[in-house]
Structure 1
Amino acid sequence: MQIPAEKWYPAIEKRRSRRQYNQEPIPEAIWRQLAVFIKDLNREISGARAVLVDEAPSSIFKGAIGPYGKVKGAPAYVAVIGDMREPMVQETVGYLGECIILEATAHDLATCWIGGFFRPKAVAGQIPLFGQERILAVSPLGYVSSDYTWEEKILSGFGNAFKRKSLDSLCTGLEPEKWPEWMKPALEAARQAPSAVNRQPWKFVLDENSVTIQIDEEAHNHDISKRLDCGIAMLHLEVGALHAGAEGYWEPLTGQAVAKYTVE
């Protein structure tokens, strides 16, 4: 697929998980654009798909969303579905879902990855599932005020939810002074990827022309797959590399190594 890096790269910095929405409806023109975008995305990426749901998601959540409070006031949501027969289904769901998150952010919509604390049966009552498909994540969609509510601030630890590990602690292999020009912006974009309870369960192994994403076994465990989180980081890394003028390709790996991005 053709990634609109110049649109999504600033969206990486802008994106924040939000749970308190102002109930403002999404304009029809933006809704249509998102619907077409998701339809095309589903056609281009196999093993996962997304559905845009024009209903308030309040009925699909189990009260408080982990430690971060309830989702309130969102007029719509998107569900991301994986085909559980696919060997890289979790990574694909993360990658595809984050495409939608960044596209929505570029349209000034707020979002929030939620991979647990929702009712899959309630979602399945609103969208069709086929074969061995499973709803792996959802995100509310809507508008928010520029300022966080007091509830959001308190429940997110006044910004702790967006603290990120340093590149020094995440990277091994090639020394920083030997990094090609594209590598640092790609890694900086990847380290900003959202993850369940902000656990950041990835390590980056660097070579002269590649970055391998590995699962960090010491990262906080959760019901949500670490591979789904790594799929989100994969997209961020690719967007950062493309923004820096370096086009590459992904090679899926096995074991704790998730995938390698190589720039030729």
Structure 2
Amino acid sequence: MREFNGDIEDIIRNRKSCRSYSDRKIGNDVMDEVVAMLKDVESIASSFRLTYLAGSGPGGKERVGTYGMISGASDYIAVIARREGNDPVEIGRLFETAVLHLADLGLDTCWLGGSFNRKDFEGRLDIGPSEYIPIVSPVGYGKERFSLLDSSVRAMVGADTRKPWSELFFHESILNPLQKEIAGDFRIPLEMVRLGPSASNKQPWRAITDSKGCHFFLSRDKGYGLRTYDLQLNDMGIAMCHFELTAAQWGVAGTWVNGPHPQAPAEWEYVRSYII
């Protein structure tokens, strides 16, 4: 995977979802980097592929349906996944990697997992009968100031609100909330997890640390985001992306595994462990 030009912590902290776009076009040099980056991300994916859809909004020849949630965007990136056997954790992890690389290039994006017309997008792309599009994002340059649309949606979902460490992170047992001040090498990676975007800002990730590493769990909102695609497992992929990229920058080498993990509440779903 290609390296970032900027500091990953700064990129994560500064990136905001953008729903209103200017008519500024993406230059050829930047577009070449975007295409090359998407190919890099796609090369390590096992359950999906990525495609770039140009000129598909008000500035292009056709408009794709986003139910009024996006304004002014003409270009999109889309995930094309298998209808059966896709991996929302992998999709979330790698699509967020792409989103952060786009931010590193100065481009704005906005995750869309439910508020877009799948048939509209699928009608413009070459997809097979066993494939569908679970995730898309506009790509471009946002307007200099947040629009009423941006402000309204952010206020509706509480986009700037994050759960405290005491609700999300624990050491060895959920009876022992992890304090930021004693989290050691995991302090910055976990803070970047906490700041991550999630569907409807549900923030479903939970983590328990121990001497072996950091173990991630999903605290699911029952029935949420399951109709066509598991948005909350996708959110876990976003959390893993933020964790691993930040850990790598801070020299905390590790590997994702499915393996032994601390005991957790019955309603939590074990996802992965980052073993150091």
- Give me the TM-score of the superposition, normalised by structure 2: 0.84
Change (3 A) 1:219 1:202: farther
Provide the secondary structure at the position in 1 that maps to 2:136: strand
**Alpha-carbon separation, structure 2, partners of 1:235 and 1:151:** 28
Which residue of 2 is the match for residue 51 of structure 1? 51
CA shift for structure 1 position 76: 0.5
Give the structure 2 partner of residue 140 of structure 1: 138
**Cα RMSD, aligned residues only:** 2.5
Residue 129 of structure 1: aligned partner: 127
Distance 1:132 1:194, change over 3 A: same
Looking at structure 1, the residues matched to 184 and 2 of structure 2 have their Cα atoms a distance apart, in angstroms, of: 22
Aligned to 2:67: 63
1:187 Cα deviation after fit: 0.3
Say yes or no: does 1:198 pair with 2:198: no
C-alpha displacement of 1:91 = 0.6
- Post-superposition shift, 1:117? 1.9
**8 Å Cα contact 2:66-2:117 kept in structure 1:** yes
1:44 offset after TM fit, Å?
Answer: 2.0
Q: Which runs of 5+ in 2 are unaligned?
A: 173-177, 261-267
* Residue 220 (structure 2) pairs with residue 217 (structure 1): yes
Q: Is the 8 A contact 2:76 2:139 kept in 1?
A: yes
Q: Is the 8 A contact 1:153 1:159 kept in 2?
A: no
Q: Distance in 2 between matches of 1:85 and 1:154?
A: 35
Larger Rg: 2
Are the counterparts in 1 of residues 157 and 200 from structure 2 also a CA contact under 8 Å? no
Work out the CA distance in 1 between the residues paired with 2:85 and 2:259: 14
Letter in 2 for 1:250: W
Q: What are the Cα deviations for residues 58-112 of structure 1, in whole angstroms up to 9, with x where unaligned? A: 6332423xxxxx211112010012234436x111111111011101101111100
Aligned length: 257
Q: Distance in 1 between matches of 2:2 and 2:31?
A: 21
**C-alpha displacement of 1:124:** 1.5
Looking at structure 2, the residues matched to 234 and 131 of structure 1 have their Cα atoms a distance apart, in angstroms, of 31
> Higher helix proportion, which one?
1
Distance 1:177 1:231, change over 3 A: closer
Asked whether the 8 Å contact 2:8–2:249 carries over to 1, the reply is no
Per-residue CA shift, 1:19-58, capped at 9, x if unaligned? 0111211111111111011112211222122111112346
